[in-house]
Amino acid sequence: MRKYFGTDGVRGRANGVITPELALKVGQAAGVVFQRGDHRHRVVIGKDTRLSGYMIETALVAGFTSVGMDVLLLGPMPTPAVAMLTRSMRADLGVMISASHNPFEDNGIKLFGPDGFKLNDEVELEIEALLDGGDLRKKLAGSRDLGRAKRIESVHARYIEFAKRTLPRHVTLEGLRVVVDCANGAAYRVAPETLWELGAEVISIGVEPDGFNINHDVGSTAPAALVNKVRELRADVGIALDGDADRVLIVDEKGQKVDGDQLMAVVARSWKEDERLTQPGLVATIMSNLGLERYVNGLGLNLARTAVGDRYVLEHMREHGYNLGGEQSGHIIMSDYATTGDGLVAALQLLSVVKRQERPVSEVCHCFEPLPQILKNVRFRSGEPLRADSVVTAIAHAKDRLGASGRLVIRPSGTEPVIRVMAEGDDRDLVNEVVDEVVDAVTKAAA
């Protein structure tokens, strides 16, 4: 069991869970763990646009420099950009200060190794051991060996060029009217500029961050503003990123939402035709729609499932040699290009298919009819409601009712005190009944 790290780094309420003291210690502990060798060590730090980012960034700088690591400050940058720059700039460690799609009150610390990949459980446990039991004062650098910190100004252009190079040279976005919603988050500068430089007509929303409005009624978790803008301007496509731009949601020219499952289907079909898949299939989580699984099976491909969390998708991809995977929520991982989900790159891959096929987004992206899928959340204060006998009985009964034609997934969230109850199947009424029964049992057990 990990005390500080969840499914996506350390996350919680700013100045509640994520305090300057904790950030300082994380910087010291991670700096100690990643000092391997006699060279001058360096760490790159990016952040999204939350007000608390200034506080956490400053505390991390103090922590890293106190153990002798030099710090390169990137400013507001997407999570995938930080991962890429960690490798590109030959850093020993990368840090992203973000709580992704959460409201501005929350924040988090994501860590990347020198290869640009998120840390595995073993390394996170090593850092936690230093946070709790290690005397970090004994690890401090001498006065002459303290680290230095400086801000790097050219990184936005580097990431824009990287994103553009994921498309073939002959592909342009000329003729496409694109609305991009940057969630008032980390991609508010780089996403619109990338699309414009590739030739699109770009209308930007969610590009006026003020420290408080990240993900507020904008972005991939609140796409109503994007849907309205696409319809108002008769745009060809809408692109919604989340606060740190590692996930994406698409809106077609009719204003219909396209989730990560449909995006993975589009890319899987395209890459299969181009013989680009390194394995005959892709990796998704237990939350991806059964319709996706049936669709890719029809293409002669397999769908491997993992626990929820892009880190688990990526681990399976690396272990078994896949180069495509993702989540229904819009984390799309293309390991040919990136070591984490990249919302902008995923959107570009979709737009390249749209341009090649010369068909509307609604036709390109409607690969399969999703099965009725119902997801409800139950908040709880403490305890383990899923262990209650009444809940165990309700779950078993629900699975029996769904049978082989449906799926039931119950899991605790990795980022908040919530039990997620999801069911899907061909019969929508049955799915609704099953979810309501399980939610009722969990609610009573959690009371």
- Just list the catalytic residues: 100
State how far the alpha carbon of 131 is from the alpha carbons of 31, 97, 140, in Å: 12, 18, 14
Q: How far apart are CA 118 and CA 40, in angstroms?
A: 22
Distance, in Å, from the CA atom of 180 to the CA atom of 188, rounded to the nearest integer, reads: 9
User: If we measure between CA atoms, which residue out of 343, 325, 335, 381 comes closest to residue 101?
Assistant: 343
Cα(185)–Cα(214) distance, rounded to whole angstroms?
A: 5
Give the separation between CA 25 and CA 10, rounded to whole angstroms: 12
- 172 three-class SS: coil
The residue count for the chain: 447
b/e 45-74 (16+ beta carbons within 10 angstroms → b): bbbbbbebbebbbebbbbbbbbbbbbbbbb
Closest among 260, 316, 249 to 283, alpha carbons compared = 316
Q: Are strands 302-306 and 177-181 parallel, antiparallel or unpaired?
A: unpaired
What span, in angstroms and rounded, lies between the C-alpha atoms of 45 and 55? 13
Q: CA-to-CA distance for 115 and 122, rounded, in angstroms?
A: 16
Residues 409-442, buried b or exposed e (16+ Cβ, 10 A)? bbbeebbeeebbbbbbbeeeebbeebbebbbebb
DSSP assignment of 63-104 equals HHHHTT-EEEEEEE--HHHHHHHHHHTT-SEEEEE--TTS-T
At residue 297, φ and ψ (nearest 5 deg) are -60, -40
Residue with structure tokens 């890719």? 296
- C-alpha atoms less than 13 angstroms from C-alpha of 424 in its C-beta half-sphere: 16
